[in-house]
């Protein structure tokens, strides 16, 4: 496990995944993923993080319908 100072990565998103883990992602990293400036690095947790982001996005869309 790597522990980082969050002050160096503000603002950030905290993602609570269905496996019970919390992941902190700098907003700048997520923007880079979206805009294609940085690839999503395939780590042990990348898939569940991306799935959780997609689920939360879809849940938000359902509320607007």
Q: What pLDDT, on a 0 to 100 scale, did the predictor assign at position 35?
A: 93
Per-residue model confidence (pLDDT) at position 6: 63
- Give the whole-angstrom CA distance, residue 60 versus residue 9: 25
d(CA 10, CA 21): 20
Q: What is the pLDDT of residue 16?
A: 92
* Residue 24: predicted pLDDT: 86
User: pLDDT digit string (tens) for 7-58?
Assistant: 666 788 889 998 889 988 888 888 998 899 988 877 768 888 888 988 888 9
* Residues linked to residue 14 through DSSP beta bridges, in sequence order: 24
At 47 the pLDDT is 86
């Amino acid at each position: 496990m790597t522990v980082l100072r969050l002050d160096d990565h503000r603002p950030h998103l905290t993602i609570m995944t269905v496996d019970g883990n919390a992941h902190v992602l700098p907003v700048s990293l997520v923007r880079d993923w979206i805009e294609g400036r940085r690839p999503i690095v395939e780590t042990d947790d990348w898939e569940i993080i991306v799935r959780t982001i997609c689920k939360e996005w879809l849940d938000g869309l359902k509320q607007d319908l």
